[in-house]
Homo-oligomer: A and B are copies of this chain.
């Protein structure tokens, strides 16, 4: 599909690649995603345990991941948990595969 509409690929797709790449270009945020590799969901609180950052910083990183679409936030009372948004990650991977012509 990308093959036949390279102009579309070069517009919508680039924005996605850029935004998601930016979300992935930080060690703390990758660490968050790594945690979700073995767990189905991750509580905001738990992130404090493995990231040596203050609460506002962690909130900031989680926001970037959510804004990029990589994480789905789920509110549970006054807590917040996150799930990996696999379709978005898959789309990103597909876009990267599209770079291979």
Interface of A toward B, CB cutoff 8 Å: 6, 9-10, 14, 17-18, 21-27, 30-31, 33-34, 36-38, 84, 86, 89, 92-93, 96-101
From B9, B22, B25, B89, A34 is in contact (CB under 8 Å) with: B9
CA distance A25 to B38 in the complex (A): 27
Minimal beta-carbon separation of A98 from chain B (angstroms)? 7
Q: List 5 A-B contacts (CB under 8 A).
A: A18-B24, A18-B26, A25-B25, A89-B100, A96-B96
Given contacts A22-B25, A24-B17, A24-B21, contact A99 B31 (CB under 8 A): no
From B6, B21, B30, B37, A37 is in contact (CB under 8 Å) with: B6
